Amino acid sequence: MADTGDGTLHSAVLRANSKSFFLDLKSNARGRYLKIAEKGRYRAKSSIVVPSSGLSPLIATFRYYIDEDAAGRRHNLGLGRALGHFDAAACCFGPGVLGLLALHRSSRALWLLAVGASR
């Protein structure tokens, strides 16, 4: 997708249960970044911005947590895995839901993404 005039290079929407995730690859004078917004049925839209320098660690962390789930390891991986300006943790959130929590270090904003189904 070409630049749409607002800096958007590519957009995608993912749906998981009652949530929608909006992923927008954007560009501005400071470089490229990924904006991830979450909208649930009964809550306001919230978003985080990941600079391009944080995309590889973010993807590697997602892959690690997905691999842990696929291997059947159901332990709480705990905070402490640094992810750019985020501390991340993987947890099981009830039957069938494995999630990634990201806590922004400066704003303390919390973000949750369901990354797979636990068995």
Q: 33: pLDDT confidence band, cut at 50, 70 and 90?
A: very high
The count of other CB atoms within 10 Å of the CB of residue 116 is 19
CATH number assigned to the domain comprising residue 112: 3.30.2450.30
For residue 115, is pLDDT > 80?
no
Rg (C-alpha) for the chain, rounded Å, is 15
Number of domains comprising the chain: 1
Q: 118: pLDDT confidence band, cut at 50, 70 and 90?
A: very low
Mean pLDDT of 49-72: 81
Residue 34 pLDDT = 92
Query: Is 19 domain-assigned?
Result: yes
* Percentage of the residues of the chain whose pLDDT score is greater than 70: 56
Query: Is 3 domain-assigned?
Result: no
Residue 31 pLDDT = 93
Virtual CA dihedral for 18, 41, 91, 105, nearest 10 degrees? 140
Q: Which domain holds residue 54?
A: 8-116
Closest CA to 118 of 40, 66, 78: 66
Query: Is 2 domain-assigned?
Result: no
> Which residue has better confidence, 2 or 28?
28
> pLDDT tens across 71-103, in order?
776 555 444 444 444 455 555 444 444 455 555
